[in-house]
């Protein structure tokens, strides 16, 4: 093989990977900017560009009025909606995988539809319900919570169901063959095996809820969540602390995901 | 599964009941409310209340008034979906076939952008594409943009924002499809003297079609309803249907028109999706 052919071959082998990495870089450019801007010392609030390095934003994250309150509200709504959606969704996933019952087809459609409808339509329909039920003037925490559980529920069911149906039921059979009761089998074998799926679903729920704007904006009334706060200040000047929250969220989430991946690998190694 | 049969016959129903009730109450009933709202008498207001008068003319009115943003939404969403398909296919292919032991890490990196807020990421693009920003200055210097040319407040910025924001929705199903492909099939194509390109178009691409269908749907539908990108990166000339619906609800309080427009969007999307799935001929999407 001539050197030229070798070079051509090497490029052919690695070109796709290189292009793929370029796409990944494209996905991270805005996040790098957000992280950079969290250390920005802007000369004026109207000019949104990097003027100088400072730790001020990180040391005083709650300086812009109302921002931290909106973060707390988003966390509260996110935790509550995640809790309810994860419990209901996990029960439903068990029902769908482990039990036979009538009406499975329509139920599957009912579960997929909320994910298939555009958010603006989902939000409009909930607003229509709340208005016609006389809650038009009482939009707020409760209506946001209801809306969030509704769109998180489908994602939880699908995620947990995928984990559950990929489960090797030989392990459960073995437990039962070793005289474990149904209860013991469930809590000692089935549940620990499904748990990573449930945890993943909960994380997904929380980030969907925390990040949602379109549906929330229609059903929030005067309540301000973090994305709504950002939307509000986007029209004026964005306080750099918004970037602090964005970066912190990113770091926390990546830590959780990488942490669980590392423990999983360690356990897999220990088991082997 | 002999053991499951021993369990109480109704356990399944009990486990399913809470979710089914929740979805019925907060997904199906709202849909009925939305249909009712779209047929309200347009003379009503949020103060005096509305009468449901089977006012089908609402639909004609909103389509006549807002056909431009409606068409634009589908056009932008189609362009963004195409962009996501091109970028997403390259990335998904690289992860599935070329990443080796870095596969899991790259998958985590694909979803990682989700962990920063959608709005903050979009605002970040606003900064990158800003008029005195590095990109605009460079493009002006090489003559691609005129001296007064800008990227912000153009269709390009909005489509780029949509492409960026919905890219992970394309990559994940594509990866799932590509990862399942038996490598021996592709090798077999090579052994039978198919060129790599021919092997790709005759073997890999057809086998990844379920992922292509799922990915295009997962990008197109949310992109068509989005208004964040057009609001933050566009101008009133780039207004999409989501902007109009949101505005009708919150600023103008014209619930009847907003409801009718929402339903119109939903109806068009549903018809489009059904036709598309029929044509693409795949049912196993999830």
Helix, strand or coil, per DSSP, at residue B182: coil
Q: Which one, of B241, B283, B248, B284, lies nearest residue B266 by Cα? A: B241
Instruction: List the single residue in B113, B228, B263 with the smallest CB-CB distance to A28.
Output: B113
Is residue B8 included in any domain, yes or no? Answer: no
pLDDT recorded at residue A133: 86
pLDDT recorded at residue A45: 60
Report the distance separating Cα A133 and Cα A244, nearest Å: 40
Report the distance separating Cα A82 and Cα A65, nearest Å: 27
Is residue B221 included in any domain, yes or no? Answer: yes
Note down the domain range covering B186: 78-280
Is residue B30 included in any domain, yes or no? Answer: no
Instruction: List the single residue in A117, A207, A230 with the smallest CB-CB distance to B119.
Output: A230
pLDDT recorded at residue B1: 44
Report the distance separating Cα B143 and Cα B137, nearest Å: 10
Is residue B261 included in any domain, yes or no? Answer: yes
Contact flag A129-B98 (C-beta cutoff 8 Å): no
Name every chain A residue with its beta carbon within 8 A of the beta carbon of B12.
95, 98-101
Name every chain A residue with its beta carbon within 8 A of the beta carbon of B110.
24, 27
pLDDT recorded at residue A10: 78
How many domains does chain B contain in total? 1
Is residue B216 included in any domain, yes or no? Answer: yes
Instruction: List the single residue in B27, B110, B121 with the smallest CB-CB distance to A114.
Output: B27
Name the residue ranges covered by the structural domains of chain A: 65-238
A to B CB pairs, distance under 8 Å: 269
Write b or e for each residue in A219-231: b if 16 or more Cβ atoms lie within 10 A of its Cβ, otherwise e: bbbebbbbbbbbb
Contact flag A128-B7 (C-beta cutoff 8 Å): no
Write b or e for each residue in B97-117: b if 16 or more Cβ atoms lie within 10 A of its Cβ, otherwise e: bbbeeebeebbebbbbbbbbb
Is residue B186 included in any domain, yes or no? Answer: yes
Residue B106 contacts A, CB cutoff 8 Å:
yes
Q: Which one, of A267, A82, A87, lies nearest residue A193 by Cα? A: A267
Name every chain A residue with its beta carbon within 8 A of the beta carbon of B199.
none
Which residues are bridge partners to A40 per DSSP? Answer: A53
Residue B47 contacts A, CB cutoff 8 Å:
no
Which residues are bridge partners to B40 per DSSP? Answer: B52
- DSSP state letters, A134-172: T-TT--SHHHHHHHHHHHHHHHHHHHHHHHHHTS-THHH
Mean pLDDT by runs of 10 across the 272 residues of chain A is 75 84 92 91 69 86 89 96 97 89 84 90 94 84 96 93 84 87 87 89 92 94 93 86 92 86 81 71
* pLDDT tens sequence for chain B (286 residues): 444 445 567 888 889 999 999 999 999 999 999 998 888 877 665 555 666 677 788 898 899 999 999 999 999 999 999 999 999 999 999 999 988 888 888 888 898 888 888 999 999 998 889 887 788 888 888 888 887 788 888 999 999 999 999 999 999 999 999 998 888 888 888 888 888 888 888 888 999 998 999 999 999 999 999 999 999 999 989 999 999 999 999 888 888 899 999 999 999 999 998 898 888 765 554 4
Q: Which fold has domain A65-238?
A: MetI-like fold (1.10.3720)
pLDDT recorded at residue B43: 67
Query: What's the pLDDT tens digit per position in A113-133?
Result: 888 899 999 999 999 999 888
What CATH number has the domain bearing residue B274? 1.10.3720.10
Shortest alpha-carbon distance between residue B201 and chain A (Å): 16
Contact flag B15-A132 (C-beta cutoff 8 Å): no
Query: What's the pLDDT tens digit per position in A46-90?
Result: 556 777 888 888 988 888 888 999 999 999 999 999 999 999 999
DSSP A188: I
Shortest alpha-carbon distance between residue B143 and chain A (Å): 23
Name every chain B residue with its beta carbon within 8 A of the beta carbon of A17.
94, 98-99
Is residue B42 included in any domain, yes or no? Answer: no
Is residue B23 included in any domain, yes or no? Answer: no
Residue B62 contacts A, CB cutoff 8 Å:
no
pLDDT recorded at residue B4: 47
Q: Residue ranges of the alpha helices (H) in chain A?
A: 3-37, 56-59, 67-98, 104-116, 119-132, 141-165, 170-177, 182-185, 191-211, 214-219, 226-234, 241-271
Contact flag A246-B116 (C-beta cutoff 8 Å): yes
Report the distance separating Cα A126 and Cα A146, nearest Å: 9
């Amino acid at each position: 093989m001539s050197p030229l052919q070798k070079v051509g071959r090497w490029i052919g082998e690695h070109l796709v990977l290189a292009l793929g990495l370029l796409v990944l870089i494209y996905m991270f450019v805005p996040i790098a900017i957000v992280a950079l801007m969290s250390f920005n010392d802007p000369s004026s609030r109207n000019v949104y560009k990097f003027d100088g390095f400072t730790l001020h934003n990180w040391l005083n994250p709650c300086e812009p009025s109302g921002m931290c309150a909106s973060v707390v509200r988003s966390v509260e709504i996110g935790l509550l909606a995640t809790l309810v959606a994860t419990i209901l969704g996990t029960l439903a996933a068990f029902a769908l995988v482990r039990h036979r019952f009538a009406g499975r087809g329509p139920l599957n459609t009912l579960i997929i539809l909320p994910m298939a409808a555009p958010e603006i339509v989902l939000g409009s329909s909930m607003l229509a319900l709340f208005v016609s039920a006389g809650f038009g003037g009482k939009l707020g925490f409760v209506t946001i919570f209801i809306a969030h559980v509704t769109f998180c529920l489908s994602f939880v069911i699908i995620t947990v169901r995928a984990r559950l149906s990929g489960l090797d039921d030989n392990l459960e059979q073995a437990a039962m063959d070793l005289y474990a009761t149904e209860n013991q089998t469930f809590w000692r074998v089935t549940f620990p095996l499904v748990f990573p799926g449930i945890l993943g679903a909960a994380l997904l729920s929380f980030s969907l809820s925390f990040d949602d704007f379109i549906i929330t904006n229609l059903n929030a009334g005067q309540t301000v969540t973090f994305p709504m706060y950002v939307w509000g200040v986007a029209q004026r000047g964005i306080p750099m602390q918004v970037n602090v929250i964005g970066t912190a969220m990113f770091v926390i989430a990546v830590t959780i995901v990488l942490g669980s991946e590392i423990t999983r690998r360690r356990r897999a190694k220990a088991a082997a | 599964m002999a053991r499951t049969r021993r369990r109480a016959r109704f356990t399944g129903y009990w486990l399913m009941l809470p979710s089914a009730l929740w979805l019925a109450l907060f997904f199906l009933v709202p849909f009925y409310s939305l249909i009712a709202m779209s047929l309200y008498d347009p003379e009503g207001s949020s103060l005096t209340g509305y009468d449901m008068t089977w006012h089908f003319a609402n639909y004609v009115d909103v389509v006549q008034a807002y056909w431009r943003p409606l068409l634009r939404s589908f056009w932008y969403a189609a362009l963004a979906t195409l962009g996501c398909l091109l970028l997403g296919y390259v990335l998904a292919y690289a992860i599935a076939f070329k990443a080796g032991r870095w596969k899991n890490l790259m998958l985590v990196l694909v979803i990682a952008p989700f962990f920063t807020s959608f709005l903050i990421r979009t605002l970040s693009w606003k900064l990158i594409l800003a008029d005195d920003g590095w990109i605009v200055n460079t493009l002006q210097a090489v003559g691609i943009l005129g001296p007064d040319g800008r990227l912000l407040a153009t269709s390009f910025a909005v489509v780029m924002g949509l492409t960026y924001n919905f890219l992970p929705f394309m990559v994940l199903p594509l990866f799932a499809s590509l990862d399942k492909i038996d490598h021996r099939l592709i090798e077999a194509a090579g052994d039978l003297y198919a060129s790599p390109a021919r092997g790709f178009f005759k073997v890999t691409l057809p086998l990844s079609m379920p992922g292509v269908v799922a990915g295009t749907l997962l990008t197109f539908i949310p992109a068509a309803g989005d208004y964040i990108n057009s609001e933050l990166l566009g101008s009133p000339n780039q207004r999409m249907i989501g902007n109009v619906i949101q505005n009708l609800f919150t600023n103008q309080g014209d619930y009847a028109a907003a409801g009718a427009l929402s339903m119109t969007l939903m109806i068009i999307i549903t018809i489009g999706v059904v036709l598309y799935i029929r044509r693409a001929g795949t049912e196993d999407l999830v």
